[in-house]
Amino acid sequence: EVGDLPLDIVQGQPRVALEDVPEPGAGPGLGAVEANAICAALRDTKGNIRLAAQQLQVSRAGLYNKIKRFGLSVDAYRQGAD
């Protein structure tokens, strides 16, 4: 019955204003988010690939592939690790 429906549906009012919905692609892309996560893991582990892969829960080979794809330099994170 109509009386069982919430008032905003009965009156035809949207629950979310359209101006509050972000445009598609408005935020950072998945690649940027992934690259940032890899950088954070490399920073946390001082460039240790094995530990970074464990932290990210990916294989070492997979991490190497992503590092290459994003053009990251592991050496930059290893400096100062001594």
Task: Quote the distance between the C-alpha of residue 5 and its chain's center.
Answer: 37
Name the pTM for this structure: 0.64
Distance CA 42, CA 67 (A): 10
State the SS3 of 26-78: CCCCHHHHHHHHHHHHHHHCCCCHHHHHHHHCCCHHHHHHHHHHHCCCCHHHH
pLDDT at residue 52 tops 80: yes
Positive or negative: CA dihedral 38, 43, 48, 50: negative
pLDDT band at 29 (very low <50, low <70, confident <90, very high): confident
Residue 13: which pLDDT band, with cuts at 50, 70 and 90?
A: low
Q: How many structural domains does the chain have? A: 1
Residue 41 lies in domain: 2-78
